[in-house]
Structure 1
Amino acid sequence: MTSARFTNIHSCRKYVRSLRLDPYASAYELCDQMSSLRDRPIRVVEAPLPIPGPMGVWIARARDDVVVVQELATGTHRDHIVLHELAHILCGHEGEQLPDYQPEIPALETARGGPVGRLRSAYDSVCEREAELLAAAFAEQLLDDLDEEGEGSSDVHKYFAGS
């Protein structure tokens, strides 16, 4: 079990502000920024993940991180899945060691980076809560950025409702 670094939304908001990010209009743009900040690529691919099953999976490979998102997810739901998996990356959550694992996801065949090191798709509730809180803080920042540009609303409830 990983001890939580972010125990409430306030600590998550403080962390997000400390990153001094450029405005971003989507979770994909945020991943690009975090790739630059971490000097380690984060690739987002959409794939037909099994249903029932996880809507998103983080795969840490030798030279990059891959966030796999259920291809059927759309709009704010898809963005939130990406933000949630990004939060797992930034929190340094651990997963199952699968050194030879290569998922049958066509988009990964073209993504560079070598063999998979860890597949993260199952976490204890502390890690899940932490990832949800951090994802929510990133979503709030996304909405604030859009609102400043006159393109959105800073109501996080609308974000999660998909409005």
Structure 2
Amino acid sequence: MNLARLRQICLARLAELRDQGLRIPTPFDAAALCARVGDCLGQPIRLVGVPMPAGAPFGLTLFTDNGHIIAYEQGTSRVHQDHIIAHELGHVLLDHRSYAVDDETAAQLLMPTLRPAMVHQVLNRTGAYSRQEEQEAEMMATILLEEASRREEARRSVSTGGDGLSETDAALYARLRHGLEQPHH
């Protein structure tokens, strides 16, 4: 499937969810977005930062009877965590249900440290995400983060008079620009 079609699928799904009241927080806040998505879908979403074992994915979504659990690598940057969470939310928003587990298995999996054997057990179940589902989730993550970024830039632009710079940054920029300009003889 081409990227334009993937984007169209994701934008259509987001439009459906917006009609149900979903709003992407600005500035981007992964926990707030998960809460909003959970409210919109009627299924709570719990975020759990864990040290993922070597060889495991950076994120994992578990679909349980009592909601969704997104486990993400806690030992990485916030930007990377936001991307991981947005990607996993893509699976939730697009109703990809590869890792359905019972609540007991989910509880065992999300102990303070993920046990490699448990991750292996969950990841080797039948029904791993297809290549298309991974592409869709990645596109959804991109759209979510792009939208939050555009809205934040617009908010910042309005609050700073249109150029996106604070007074201090604008003054520094002007001094640097003046200092770097060619002298007029």
TM-score normalised by L of structure 2 = 0.64
SS in 2 for 1:60: strand
> What letter corresponds to residue 131 of structure 2 in structure 1?
S
Cα 1:72–1:19 shift into 2, 3 Å: same
SS in 1 for 2:156: coil
Q: Counterpart of 1:147?
A: 153
* Candidates 19, 42, 45, aligned match of 2:17: 19
Q: Counterpart of 2:47?
A: 44
SS in 2 for 1:73: coil
Q: Counterpart of 1:132?
A: 138
* Inter-partner Cα distance in structure 2 for 1:76 and 1:93: 24
Cα 1:148–1:107 shift into 2, 3 Å: farther
* Candidates 28, 31, 34, aligned match of 2:34: 31
What does residue range 47-126 of structure 1 map to in structure 2 within 5 Å? Answer: 47-96=50-99, 98-99=101-102, 101=105, 102-106=108-112, 122-126=128-132
Gaps in structure 1 of 5+ consecutive residues: 1-5, 109-118, 152-163
- The alpha carbon displacement at 1:92 in A equals 1.5
Q: Which has the higher strand share?
A: 1
CA RMSD, Structure 1 to Structure 2 (Å): 2.8
Q: Which has the higher helix share?
A: 2
The structure showing larger relative contact order (alpha-carbon pairs under 8 Å, at least 6 residues apart) is 1
* Inter-partner Cα distance in structure 2 for 1:33 and 1:41: 9
User: Is contact 2:63-2:100 (8 Å) kept?
Assistant: no
* Inter-partner Cα distance in structure 2 for 1:10 and 1:97: 27
* Inter-partner Cα distance in structure 1 for 2:71 and 2:41: 19
Cα 1:149–1:77 shift into 2, 3 Å: same
SS in 2 for 1:95: coil
Cα 1:61–1:139 shift into 2, 3 Å: same
Answering whether residue 9 of structure 2 is matched by residue 8 of structure 1, we say no
Larger radius of gyration between Structure 1 and Structure 2: 2
| Aligned-pair identity (%) | 26
Aligned length: 137
* Inter-partner Cα distance in structure 2 for 1:15 and 1:104: 29
Q: Counterpart of 1:155?
A: none
* Inter-partner Cα distance in structure 2 for 1:68 and 1:55: 8
- The alpha carbon displacement at 1:52 in A equals 2.2
- The alpha carbon displacement at 1:94 in A equals 2.6
Gaps in structure 2 of 5+ consecutive residues: 115-121, 158-185
Cα 1:144–1:15 shift into 2, 3 Å: farther
